[in-house]
Chains A and B, each alone.
Chain A
Amino acid sequence: MSVVSTCRGSDAVKEILAVIRMNKINATKRALADAGISSITARKVMGRGKGKVDYLLLQGAQAGHEEAICQLGPGPKLIPKRMLTIVVPDHVVPKAVRTIIDLNRTGSPGDGKIFVLPVLDTIRVRTGETGDQAIDEMAL
């Protein structure tokens, strides 16, 4: 039996990459668990957003004006963030995204971003199951 197979699930699987504030991680984990999404991977990352950047300066620098480049400097310092990786079936994506947004939203810049990417296949290492069977959140 071949362990690796092509995606055969009826429901596509998506990877949600969420970059959020450091201090929101525990509440987010709890809320996701309450929503039935228990499997997550979290790691510490450093990042910056477009936050405090003046777009006129950026455009100037892009056009090659020395003054704009000098004013821009080496850019804002990187800020520590947490990155969550969650793999869920298609129909759970809106729920997961809403849970993360509701909890992490303070309204000010720096709250983070959420990206949704396609996943071709999932394999559970313990049993070798592929596709739908390897995703716990399928029943949600």
Chain B
Amino acid sequence: MSFVTSHFNYVVVIVLMMGGLFITFSTGNLIKRMIGLAIFQTSVGVLYISLGKVAGGTAAITIEATSEAGRALSSKLDPGYVAQYGVDGVVYSNPLPHVLILTAIVVGVSTLAVGLAIAVRVREAYGTVEAGEIAAADQAAIAQADRRKSGGRGR
């Protein structure tokens, strides 16, 4: 199999990952940055799930090989392939990446909420969620404090 077909999923993972990173880097808006991070996170999920896919496999919910569904699945595959890679006569995809990504998605939305909560508090403190304006407000506050300090000494 050529590189393009056998590694297509990984190239898409990299494109999505870099896209998420680009959104995070290029925009100053804190909410948009969180969206970029969320896309970055899904790309990691795509990588894990792609690695866990087994050609000709089915979801990791065990079925009797002698049942109709089991026979239907096995009949589509080469018997030698089933004998080598199957479990009790049926080929399954790898369940371990599924477990890892399932919990990662729910943890991801929780951490997204934390990030957004910080953005909301930043907005309340600065009146903006643009990183550039926040930095400018900080600079202005520092300059003002310096002026007050030097003015106090002068008197």
A binds B: no
Binding site for B on A (CB under 8 A): none
Binding site for A on B (CB under 8 A): none
